[in-house]
């Protein structure tokens, strides 16, 4: 399973590329707001940091756009900012219509804001490159469905669609583990969640026990 960083903060991205060797980046308008950048400025800066050809960066179209033609035009414009960009369009009727045209143009699309299995299937049928089911937003609102991600993964694999399932809006280490156990292709997490996930209090406890033992031998 690939690990993507869900952030538009360049210092976090730099750290995650160099220290963690993360596999890609996802952004959204909220991340850009937190990083204080417009999408064009972010694209210009991130392009210089991309470590390899298969490292993708997802950029989202303007969420105000409602017509498929507008979404299509904006996505084409963003895709021209660099080869590694995958363009996020929403899982709406207009977004799906834009996806069909974008596929024909060779633009890679990440269908975002996916909250049910049928949205995921439609995205896969129409040729999405990534499909992003949001796990945390549902749970935060009490809409707890442990089968959501596993059923999406199973259905997409049942029909051998090419789309990759990118588990998004993760909030806990458990979300990462669950994504891996059901065979999701990618997980995207915040910088802070990876920091938490890569460490464990028991590891710290073990280091303390072993350090004390070491000291008693070498004192
Ligand atoms: C994924 O691609 C999205 O950017 C992301 O996971 C959205 O959720 P969040 O910003 O609430 O984590």
Rounded Cα–Cα distance for residues 63 and 83 (Å)? 22
Q: What is the pLDDT of residue 165?
A: 98
Q: Is the CB of 26 under 6 A from ligand 1?
A: yes
Over residues 106-112, the mean pLDDT reads: 98
135 closest CA partner among 178, 98, 197: 178
Could you tell me the two tokens for 8? Answer: 């538009």
Rounded Cα–Cα distance for residues 21 and 14 (Å)? 10
E strand intervals along the chain? 2-6, 24-26, 56-60, 85-90, 109-114, 130-133, 164-167, 186-189
Could you tell me the two tokens for 138? Answer: 């549902």
Q: Which atom, in ligand 1's list, is nearest to the CA of 112?
A: 2
Per residue in 143-186, pLDDT (tens digit) is 999 999 999 999 999 999 999 999 999 999 999 999 999 999 99
> Of how many residues is the chain composed?
219
Per residue in 11-27, pLDDT (tens digit) is 999 999 999 999 999 99
Could you tell me the two tokens for 89? Answer: 């369009």
- Clarify whether 88 is annotated catalytic: yes
Over residues 130-154, the mean pLDDT reads: 95
Rounded Cα–Cα distance for residues 62 and 52 (Å)? 27
Q: What is the pLDDT of residue 157?
A: 96
219 has pLDDT over 90: no
Per residue in 29-51, pLDDT (tens digit) is 999 999 999 999 999 999 999 99
Q: Which of 4, 6, 86, 149 to mutate to test the pocket of ligand 1 (most atoms within 8 A of CB)?
A: 6
Q: Is the CB of 188 under 6 A from ligand 1?
A: yes
Torsion of CA 27, 71, 115, 60, to 10 degrees: 0
Please provide the average confidence, as pLDDT, over all residues in the chain.
Answer: 97
pLDDT category at 52 given cuts 50, 70, 90 is very high
Rounded Cα–Cα distance for residues 97 and 155 (Å)? 22
- Our measurement of the distance from residue 165's CA atom to the centroid of its chain's CA atoms, rounded to an integer in Å, reads 9
197 closest CA partner among 211, 187, 212, 209: 187
Q: What is the pLDDT of residue 70?
A: 98
Which domain range does residue 51 map to? 2-218
Contact 203, 196 (CB under 8 A): no
Q: Which atom, in ligand 1's list, is nearest to the CA of 6?
A: 4
Q: What is the pLDDT of residue 210?
A: 98
Domain count, the chain: 1
116 has pLDDT over 90: yes
CATH number of the domain to which 110 belongs: 3.20.20.70
pTM: 0.96
Percent over 90 (pLDDT), the chain: 99
CA angle 103, 105, 106 (to 5 degrees): 65
């Amino acid at each position: 399973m690939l690990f993507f960083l869900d952030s538009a903060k360049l210092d976090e991205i730099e750290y995650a590329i160099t220290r963690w060797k993360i596999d890609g980046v996802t952004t959204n308008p909220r991340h850009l707001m937190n990083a204080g950048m417009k999408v064009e400025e972010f694209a210009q800066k991130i392009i210089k940091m991309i470590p390899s050809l298969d490292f993708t960066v997802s950029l989202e179209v303007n969420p105000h756009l409602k017509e498929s033609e507008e979404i299509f035009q904006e996505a084409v414009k963003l895709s021209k900012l660099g080869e590694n960009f995958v363009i996020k369009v929403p899982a709406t009727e207009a977004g799906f219509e834009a996806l069909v045209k974008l596929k024909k143009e060779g633009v890679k699309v990440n269908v975002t804001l996916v909250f049910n299995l049928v949205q995921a299937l439609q995205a896969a049928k129409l040729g999405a490159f990534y499909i992003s089911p949001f796990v945390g937003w549902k749970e935060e609102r009490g809409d707890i469905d442990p089968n959501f991600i596993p059923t999406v993964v199973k259905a997409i694999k049942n029909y051998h669609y090419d789309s990759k399932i990118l588990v998004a809006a993760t909030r806990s280490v458990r979300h990462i583990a669950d994504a891996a156990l059901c065979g999701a292709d990618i997980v995207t997490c915040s910088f802070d969640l990876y920091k938490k996930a890569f460490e464990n209090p028991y590891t710290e406890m073990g280091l303390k026990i072993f350090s004390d033992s070491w000291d008693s031998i070498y004192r």
